[in-house]
Structure 1
Amino acid sequence: MMNVLVVEDDEFKAADIVRLISEAIGSATITRAASVTSALRAITAGGFPLVILDMSLPTFDLSGPGGGGSPQSQGGVEVLRLASRLASECVYLVVTQYPDIEIDGREVPLAKAAKQLSSRFKVNVKECLLYEFDRDDWQASFSRALTFDIT
């Protein structure tokens, strides 16, 4: 059984992702994190060979008075930066609603972002995918990205 961490603050998008993981992997145990802080807490605790990561995340979870703050467009990049300090051996799969990711002040298209994020932060970013709630074609790309061996 594989443990998967889904780092996503949007409930609708998270539900789509969890459904596809369940269909593709079947016996996966899925844990949710909805902020940079909760993602890093889970990654630090370990046990997640696969992390599905959004790029726009609030700093803290949205519980309690005042919520978790506004989503940071670079929240996912911050997770990768800090995960690199932990020497994280997770495989990261980025699923974002934006066609580009800002890396070191430059907008990088998703097709090139995984390689650049992996190189920049010394973590294993397998792929960066565009999530489109009103289109189904992202789902096939996501399911294909889940079909790899984690050793």
Structure 2
Amino acid sequence: MRILIIEDDQNKRKQVLDFIEETISHFDIESKSSFKSGLKELINTHYDLLLLDMSMPTFDITVSETGGKLLPFAGKEILRQMKRRKIFIPTIVITQFEKFGDYEKTLNLEELKAELERDFRDIYLGAVYYNPASSSWRDDLKEKLKNIEGVNID
């Protein structure tokens, strides 16, 4: 099983990676930390599962790069690009925000889930609310992983 995680928060990414190592057997995982690097990876490499953050910077943050503009719906745009390019990879959104948006549009998590379900039902498997102070996100993610063909849960 090949897994791609697109996540810009280092602590959240580490927690999710640790959980995957504890939960799934026989996997290879790659991580990207911005909209552009994540989309490029999806276009160029086949994966069996995508774990996707919703809000992230346009570019990778480095010593000399600030990451560009923060995109509140970057994950949604990645899903849109996947659909357009016919990249059908089961996708679970993992977010630590309950509200999303900018000056043009705002959504709460439940509204976002409904939109993603409606617009990307071929690839979107659900969203997990990540709260670092709670372990309930782990149970929620594990339940979603059980429904993916080829995922061997330990």
Instruction: Settle same-fold status: TM greater than 0.5.
Output: yes
The CA deviation string for residues 77-136 of structure 1, in whole angstroms up to 9 with x for no partner, is: 11111111111110110000122456x9462533x6445314324641101110001111
Residues in 2 aligned to 1:97 and 1:70: alpha-carbon distance in whole angstroms:
19
1:75 aligned residue: 74
Q: How far apart are the structure 2 equivalents of 1:58 and 1:73?
A: 8
Report whether the alignment pairs 1:107 with 2:107.
yes
Q: How many residue pairs end up in the alignment?
A: 148
The 3 A distance-change label for structure 1 pair 12 and 35 is same
Residue segments in structure 2 that go unaligned for 5+ positions in a row: none
Quote the Cα distance in structure 2 between the aligned partners of 1:90 and 1:137. Answer: 25
Given the two structures, how large is their TM-score scaled by the length of structure 1? Answer: 0.86
The answer as to whether partners of 2:117 and 2:124 remain within 8 angstroms in 1 is yes
Decide whether aligned partners of structure 1 residues 55 and 27 sit closer, same or farther in structure 2, where only a CA change above 3 A counts. Answer: same
Amino acid at match of 2:46: G
Where does 1:1-151 land on structure 2 (aligned, <5 Å)?
2-100=1-99, 105=105, 107-110=107-110, 113-121=112-120, 123-150=122-149
Deviations 1:32-65 (A, max 9, x none): 0100111111110132110000011110111252
CA RMSD of aligned residues (A): 2.1
* Counterpart-to-counterpart distance in 2, 1:101 and 1:145: 22
- SS of alignment partner, residue 4 of structure 1: strand
Structure 1 residues 49, 114: CA separation in 2 closer, same or farther (over 3 Å shift)? farther
Gaps of 5+ in 1: none
Q: Percent identity?
A: 25
Instruction: Calculate the TM-score normalised by the size of structure 2.
Output: 0.84
